[in-house]
A and B are shown apart, each in its own frame.
Chain A
Amino acid sequence: MMDAMPEHDDRNALSWFFTGMRGLLSLPALILLTSIVGFSAFALESGLTRAEAVFMSLGIWALPAQVILVGSMASGANIAACFLAVTLSSIRMMPMVASVIPEMRTRRTPIWLLLILSHFIAITSWVFAITTLRNVPREYRATYFAGFGVTLTLTGTLVVGVFYDIVSGFPPVVAGILFFLTPVYFNASIWASAHQPVVKIAFVMGMILGPTLALVTPQFDVLCAGVGGGTVAYLIDRARRKRKHAGQEAR
């Protein structure tokens, strides 16, 4: 995965697609597939059939949104209320996708291809994209991401289908411990991949504001923490860059 150096441009697209596919054996992908096992237990307990759980995994491909939809449906909410709850949690997809697209495309990448590929962007593949895309020659980045994203989504959906009625036999504490993998993995990998100070400041802002705002505005906490924390982080970083720039000019 990391052996891809930008100067080796002689490899063809199919070979980059397979390199992306190999990302399935990376730590983030394995951690996500483990947490998907937990979702499949949750779907079973909430009364979804196997086919419905599989359709949901493939159609949404965002674990928080899936958990919210299953929860809303189980509580008897109507389709409009379900839509509202899910769409509020999915607003975060917009900046996530928007921040990856400029790195993924070339000037000739067709928009329809990017629209299709965007379906495969969720937290895990976002982290994968921001950490590894820079090691891939630009013209093959979309192909490389497709290799990873499509394979991960299909495998994750397969896991939902296969584990649907196996997981109910696990002791609950195992599911709880597996659940903890996801946040600690994000902590380490996002920090390790942060090359710009603005990302580190935003990391700390989100970490503090997420749980704090959950107590104040449970419906909009993630959105407020993202837009508010991100904007503050951006302003701090801009002031830092200006000061640095001014310092250089004074000399």
Chain B
Amino acid sequence: MIAEYWTFIVIAVAGFLATDIWRWLGVFTGNRLNEDSEALYWVRAVATSLVMAVTAKLIVFPNGTLAGTPLWLRVGAAGIGFAVFLATGRKVGIGVAVPMALLVAGLWWVGF
């Protein structure tokens, strides 16, 4: 009986609870912050840095199939794509399409 549901219990405790306690703490903290308060500047900076650290790691140390592709190709595609995005008036569509096209072209070129 317990064994049958054990995986669900693990997901509920080590997954749901382990994640949502931080969301709840975020609500209690955020509820005390005023918009444009000095503390909110810091919290915004920390949140942005965290998300960008996760993002950069997805490019530099990816999981799965991409892990077998050359690092210079992934960093080059993302970097050149971002530069084009900045140079062309910061349209998100361009910021996505250019690096994707560079990655696909590069993978084809190295014979992946």
Contacts and interface: CB of A to CB of B under 8 A. Distances in A.
Contact of B50 (A61, A105, A121, A206): A206
A5 B55 CA distance: 31
Instruction: Enumerate the 8 nearest inter-chain pairs by beta-carbon distance, A residue then B residue, closest first.
Output: A188-B95, A97-B26, A101-B30, A206-B52, A210-B53, A226-B50, A230-B46, A176-B65
Nearest to B92: A188
Contacts of A69: 10-11, 14-15
Given A27-B92, A192-B95, A83 B13 contact: yes
A58 B78 CA distance: 31
A237 B57 contact: no
Given A92-B54, A102-B33, A222-B53, A179 B21 contact: no
A44 interface: no
A202 B19 contact: no
B23 A99 contact: no
Q: How large is the interface on B (under 10, 10 to 19, 20 to 34, 35 or more residues)?
A: 35 or more
B46 A173 contact: no
B89 to A, nearest CB: 10
Given A69-B14, A102-B35, A118 B107 contact: no
Interface in B1-17: 7-17
B57 A118 contact: no
Interface stretch (A14-22, A153-161, A193-201): A193-201
A62 interface: yes
Interface of A: 27, 31, 38, 42, 48-49, 52, 55-56, 59-62, 64-67, 69, 72-73, 79, 82-83, 86-87, 90-103, 105, 111, 114-115, 118-119, 121, 123, 126, 172-173, 175-177, 179-192, 194, 196, 198-199, 201-211, 213-214, 221-223, 225-231, 233-234, 237-238
Contact of B45 (A100, A118, A176, A234): A234
Given A60-B15, A180-B66, A234-B45, A206 B25 contact: no
Contacts of A238: 41
Contact of A119 (B20, B54, B62, B94): B20
B51 A96 contact: yes
Contacts of A222: 50, 53-54, 57
A73 B18 CA distance: 14
Residue in B41, B47, B92, B100 whose Cβ sees the most chain A Cβ within 10 Å: B47
A183 B62 CA distance: 10
7 contacts: A52-B8, A82-B18, A92-B51, A92-B54, A94-B26, A202-B44, A205-B52
A234 B69 contact: no
Nearest to B10: A79
Nearest to B108: A173
A34 to B, nearest CB: 11
Nearest to B23: A118
A209 B49 CA distance: 9
Given A210-B57, A230-B49, A173 B112 contact: yes
Contacts of B23: 93-94, 97, 115, 118-119, 121
A182 B20 CA distance: 23
Contacts of B24: 115, 118
Contacts of B103: 177, 180
Nearest to B75: A211
Interface string B34-77: 11010011111111111111111111111111100100001001
